[in-house]
Every structure is written in C-alpha cells, then in structure tokens.
Chains A and B, each alone.
Chain A
Amino acid sequence: MSIYFKLVKALIASVEPTSEEKKYKKIFYRIMGIIAVFGIMLPMAFLVGIIIYVLTTQLLKIGSGQNAAEMFLQIVSVFSFVFGLNVIFNIFYFSGDIENLLPLPLKPYQIIGSKFTAALISESIMEFIIIIAVFAGYIIAAGLPFYTWLIAVFGMITLPILPLSYCAVICMLVMLVTSFIKNKDTVNKITGFLTFIIILGLALIVSRSGGIDTDHLVTALADPNNLLLSILNLIFPHIHFIVNSMISNTAINLLYYIGINALAIAIFMIIAQAIYFDTAAGVSKSLVSKTKSLQKSVSSVKGHNPCVSYLKKEFRILFRTPAYFMNCILINLIWPLFLYLIYVLQGKTNFLDSFIYGIHNGNEENVLIFILGVSAVSVLVTAANSIASSSFTREGNHFAFVKYIPLSYISQINIKALISIIISGTGMIIYVIAASLYLNIGIKLMIFCCIISLISVTFVSYFGIFMDSVNPKLIWDSELNALRGNYNIFFNMATAILLEAITCAGAYLAFKFTDIGSLIIIIILFIFLMMLTAGSYLLCRFKAVSNIDKLSI
C-alpha cells in the first residue's frame, strides 16, 4: 500500500509546477489565483448551487426533491467521461514515466491504480467544486441534517470514479484491439475523434428526446418517463443511490453506492492486471515511418523566410502531437456542438427562435447581443484552446532554442500569436459566416462581426503569450502534461473571461440604461477591443520579451 501512495505522490508532483517554479512568481500566482477563485470558480459554484436550490424547492412540493441534483450530477459525470477519455488514454499509455515504471518490479494494478488516482485528483478539482455546490443546494433546500454534509464530501471525492473507470476500461480495450496498428499516435488520434463522435451522439440523443422544456423544467424533471434521465440513470447508477442516501434513514443506499464504485474499480483492475503490460509495452518506441533516400530527402529542402519556416514548425508540432491536436485543434470543432446543444435544449420555450426573429427584423438589442456574443465566444474559444497560453510551455526542455537562435524574441512572439490567430480565427470566421447567413443579418454586419471576432482572437492570443512568458511550465514528461496542471492556461482563461465579461456587460448595460444608441455603443466596443488588443501586444513587446530574456534555464 505504501508503494501505491508513493507512486500517487510522485505522479501528482510530475504534473504540478515545481516548488522552484512556484517560488519564482509567488505574488503573480497569488493575484491570478484570487482572480480565478473569486472571479470564476466561486461565482460558478454559487450559480450552480442557486439553480439546484430553486429547482429542488419546487420539486419538493411534488415529491421529487432529489431529481434536480441527480440530473445535474449525471451531466457532470457525462462531461467527466467525455473529457477524461483523452486524459486517461495519455496517462496510461503516452506519458514519459511509462518507460521508467515498466521495468520496475511493480504489478500492473499498482501502476494503473496509482495513475488512475493521480488523474482523479489532478483532473477533477473544478468538478469537485461543482459537485459540492450541487449537494449544498440540495441539502439546504431540503433542510437535510448535518450528517448529509459528510456524505456530500464523500460523494465529491468519489463521484468521478465511475465515469473515469469507464474511460480506463475503454482505453485498455482500444489498445488491445488496435495492437496491430504500429504507430500508436494514430490510435491516440482515433480516440480523439471517438470523443468527438460521442459528443455528437449525445447531441443527437438530446435533440431526439425533444430537449428539456425550460419553461416547464420542474415538470420535466418530475416526469418518471423522462428519456434523458432514464438513460443517464442506467449509465451512471451510482448517482441515484448517493442522492437517495441523504434522504433515507438506512445506510443501504450508501452501501449500494460504495458497492457500484468498488465493482467498477475491481473490474478495471482485473482488466489492467490481465492486459496492461501487453498493451503498454513498446508504445513509446513504436513510432515507425517510411524512409526515403538521401537524394529524395535533400531535394525537398527549399529556402524560406525564417519566419515562414518557424511558422511551419509550429503548425507541424501542433498537428502532429496527439495531445496538442486533441486539446488545441480539435476543441475548435467541438464548441459549436455545445451551441447546438443549447439550441436543442431550448425546447418549447423557443427563446432562441424569438431572438433570431428579432435579428431578422433588425431589433437593435438583439443585434447588439449577437455582436457581443461573437466577441465573447471568440475570446472563450481562443483562451480555451490554449494555443497562445502554452506557446513557450510547449517548447519544454528545448526552450533554449528560442534563446540561442538568431531570431528576435518579438519575431518569435508574433509568429506564435499568428498561429493562435490563424487556427482560432479561421474556425471563428467560418462559424460567424455560417451563423450570419442563417440569421440573414446582411453582408455589412457579417463582415463587421468577422472583424470583431478577429480583434477578440488577437487580443487573447497576445495576452495568452504574455501570461505564458511570466513563468512557462518547461518541465514536463509528456506533451499532455504541458497542458494539464498548467496554471498559465487557467489564469489566462480566467483573466480573459473576466475582461470580456466586464466589456460585454458594460456595453449591454449602457444600451439598456442610457440614451446612447446601439451604433455608438458598437463603435465604442470596437475601439475598446482595439485598445485591449494594442495593450496586450505592447505587454508582449516590452514585458514578455523582457520575461523571456531574463528567464534562466
């Protein structure tokens, strides 16, 4: 057992920044941490808690008090499963520690058990906060006794076990059935597309179920024939038992909950014991490729401008590295599915339809909301794909290359920003054009929205690079670890979202509560976004360049 705990400790330490890195910018991390906790995590948890409290209060009147909490926890489990798939795959098979762990006299279940626990702890912090917020809303609304808080804390830590166990079993089985594929990068990419297909499938199931009628959400949640709830209860049966254990006077529900989790762990441990060594052996050495003659290789050499060549290098690394491809590129394809889900979930309320109708009829408020939405989504997508905010981090142990080549730091920063602008901006412009055509908003407004989108993307790209330059996470053993546990990515997202939220809220409130016309507000918004972009560029031009110059490696 002590081996297991030591392994877990070592594996978590490999994801977290080193104490030296933390010490380096203590004040910076403290400020960013406060912004992240008070600006995003707590407000989000509070919002979730309030929603559950209100819904539970209504549901209690018709005798289905636990349904809101159950439904929310099941949605959390779905997200845990979808995003955990890629993480578990990389941790089990593609992290740099595998070559060191496999030769040690350890049993497969010891390696897998510790890797699984480390993943559970380091991946689920935000999830833990949401889960405890759901339980808090439920306990307060239902006026449950004190001991239910203990169940809530237990549930907070153990709830993601089942979805992550599904991920673990699927990963091992995929590796077993694809053992004939020698290039494991291909397998890794296939899993990424599998995730994409699962999300697509979920969107289709939800759309076929007719969505949740938000107008009558309480009635829908109380309905015993709710298809979505029934399917999710079948996939994640443990949630029903832990929520029930809070209101029943016996321990039987809690025992069922523990039993389901124990069974899940036992099944995946047995599978790990049987096949992990066979499937993991040789993975990191299995990259094979066709070779060409020297003359053929040399003939492909062509002179380019150094910046063009550097840009190509960045593209190649992003597209060829499965962890980057999945987390930085593919995410740009996934987010429209979430928008589609929101559209489907509007149900019979048709609030989006009335919004669209308003835009068709030139409603100024709706047009302003659409423009603000374009800017907000552009900021969110650029921050979430972390292309910019992991620019220097991705260089890892060869960061010195940035410093010893004869290419100025600002040129390299501009190229790194350009990569983020091209990838995030291209996706955004395609979706903005598609949405504009669908909404029939006219060519002028469409072009304006594209420009607003590009400015927003550029602002976050430069800002992300600046944030990464403060203290890039250069010590990691696998590319996924460059992104996981990377505070720079999270802090960049928190700050960018906060700035954008203030901007959008300011613009909307000015429209709503002053006599300023929408056109003037849009012009002010444009100028303000330009100023933010110029500000983030100047931060890079002076501060990021100086940060990189000072960085001792």
Chain B
Amino acid sequence: MIKFENVTKVYNKTVRAIDDISFNVKGGEIVGFIGPNGSGKTTTMKLLTGIIKADVGKITVNGFNIRRNPIKAKESIGYIADSPDMFLRLKGIEFLDLIGDIYHVPTEKRRERIEKFASRFDLNDSLSAPIMSYSHGMRQKIMVIAALLHNPPVWILDEPMVGLDPKSAYELKQMMREHANEGNAVFFSTHVLEVAEKLCDRVIIIKKGHLLFDGTLEKLESENKNGSLEEIFLELTEK
C-alpha cells in the first residue's frame, strides 16, 4: 500500500531531514513510526501525503505515484496532521461535510459514518458547534472522523493520541485495528512506546533522517536482548 523508495529530503540545501530511506507498508498492517524529536517523522508523513516534495526517490500510495498521479494518491489517504487546530470558524458538521464532498463520499454513507464515529467518540451534540469552542481532544476526534470518512485504503496519522482522553485513545486504537483488519494500511507516528508495543505489527525506528530499524517487535527484542522496548529504543537512538 505504501512504498517509500530511497527517499531523500534536504531543507535549505543543507539539512538532510530524510536521508535515503526506504520502507513498505502492506495492507492489513499497522506500522508504528518511532523516533526522537527532530528525527524526521513529520517530514516523512508530509512526503507521503504530498505536502512536501522529495528531492530524490519515489513514493507510491495504493499504487499511485504521489508526484505523477497526486489526486488519485491523495484520494487513497486519510491523514491526521500533528495539529488539529484547523478551520476553527467552521462547525464540526460543516467541516465533516466539506471533507465528505472533497473525497466524494455519497450522502447516505457520509451520514451513516458520521453518526457511527461521533457516537463512538461522544461527540453527539457538539457537531453543531464551531470547532473553535472544542477542547484539544475534541478537535483531535473531529480530525480522526474526517480522516476515516471516506474509508481510505491508507491511513496516515501523525501523533494521533496527543490530547485524547483514555476512553477516546482506546476507541482510536480499536478503530486502527478494525481498519487494518479490513485490509487497509495504517501508518502512524508516536512517542508513546507502550502504544507501539500493544498495537503495531511492525515498527520503524528513525533517527536524524536515517532508518535504524524496520521489523516486528519480536525481531527488535531478539536483536537487542537488553530489557524493555523503552530501553532498546533509548539504546538505539542514543548511540
């Protein structure tokens, strides 16, 4: 579903944010993207979604090249950005309707999905209020619903758990698992190692734009027999 081949991104001709990275994410997989601050996680997410251009390399989403066929590739993606402070003057329902139109979701399907997701996230009566009046967590929930509204084959989430209460975080993890079980790819970045440990089929660890590890947690533990995931992560990223 996601093919990231020998991608390099250089900012201001000097900072190599991503340096010759390659990885794949298959359908039915949940892949966690882990790395310290400034390691290149958000840059990778932005490259995948077409927000920024790679200097070198090829990115394919659901079989569509993000540069050559951007509209088709973007239609395949559900993306949650690192900040949910978006379109604060719109009402929650207006924002979801806009997303439904842009991603061509039929009206009946749209209504059905909004009702289902809003109920799961306890947003029932808030949808008619402006997003500006929402708490950070509520804004994050609206973004999650928007990213799932068109049932995308590829779900890309940048730090999705930030600001969510325990119940909503649990619901989101369930949704990610359900979405992957339907044959879709889920790729998300996180700082919370426990989430990665419990949820991911595979993890990718990145540091200063370089890929340090790509594999299952079992493989990671067998290669590094020194304690918990947290300890392995610290050892890998602080070398």
Contacts and interface: CB of A to CB of B under 8 A. Distances in A.
A19 interface: no
B50 interface: yes
A406 B86 contact: no
Contact of B104 (A287, A290, A306, A550): A306
Nearest to B129: A289
Contact of B51 (A291, A298, A306, A553): A553
A302 B107 contact: yes
Nearest to B96: A301
Interface in B127-177: 127-130, 132-133
B186 interface: no
A226 interface: no
A196 to B, nearest CB: 22
A81 to B, nearest CB: 29
A303 B129 contact: no
B61 to A, nearest CB: 11
A408 B106 CA distance: 21
A297 B127 contact: yes
Contacts of A288: 133
A21 to B, nearest CB: 13
B77 A297 contact: no
B24 interface: no
A397 interface: yes
Interface in A534-553: 549-550, 552-553
A312 B46 CA distance: 27
Interface stretch (A49-57, A115-123, A316-324): A316-324
Contacts of A310: 98, 101-102
Nearest to B114: A298
Interface stretch (B87-95, B215-223, B227-235): B87-95
A304 interface: yes
Given A294-B125, A553-B52, A406 B75 contact: yes
Given A288-B133, A301-B96, A306-B102, A296 B128 contact: yes
A303 B93 contact: no
B128 A398 contact: no
Given A287-B130, A301-B93, A401 B101 contact: no
Contact of A549 (B11, B53, B75, B125): B53
A313 B90 contact: yes
Interface string B62-106: 000000001110110101010101110110111011101111111
A317 to B, nearest CB: 5
Contacts of B127: 292, 294, 297-298
A552 B52 contact: yes
Interface string B173-214: 000000000000000000000000000000000000000000
Given A303-B107, A404-B49, A406-B103, A297 B93 contact: yes
A291 B71 contact: no
Contacts of B92: 297
Contact of B125 (A291, A403, A408, A553): A291
B6 interface: no
Contacts of A294: 115, 118-119, 124-125, 127
B59 to A, nearest CB: 13
B237 interface: no
B128 A316 contact: no
A525 B83 CA distance: 49
Contacts of A292: 125, 127-128
Given A292-B125, A293-B125, A404-B50, A303 B132 contact: no
Contacts of A299: 111
Given A287-B130, A321-B89, A301 B102 contact: no
A407 interface: yes
A301 B133 contact: no
B101 A406 contact: no
A552 B92 CA distance: 28
Given A294-B119, A317-B87, A405-B102, A289 B133 contact: yes
B22 interface: no
B16 interface: no
Given A291-B126, A403-B50, A309 B85 contact: no
Contact of B97 (A301, A317, A405): A301
Contacts of B71: 406-408
Nearest to B67: A549
A504 to B, nearest CB: 38
Contact of B89 (A291, A296, A320, A550): A320
B3 interface: no
B184 to A, nearest CB: 17
Contact of B107 (A301, A305, A312, A553): A301
Nearest to A295: B115
A400 interface: yes
A317 B118 contact: no
Given A289-B133, A290-B128, A294-B118, A550 B49 contact: no
A289 B130 contact: yes
A407 to B, nearest CB: 6
A514 interface: no
Contacts of A404: 49-51, 74, 77, 79
Contacts of A296: 128
B110 interface: yes
Nearest to B132: A287
Interface in A158-216: none
A300 interface: yes
Given A397-B83, A404-B50, A406-B74, A297 B128 contact: yes
A408 B75 CA distance: 12
11 contacts: A293-B125, A298-B111, A298-B127, A300-B93, A301-B100, A302-B97, A304-B101, A313-B87, A320-B89, A397-B85, A400-B81
Q: Across chains A and B, which 8 residue pairs bring their CB atoms closest together, nearest first?
A: A309-B101, A292-B128, A406-B74, A398-B86, A303-B107, A297-B127, A294-B124, A406-B75
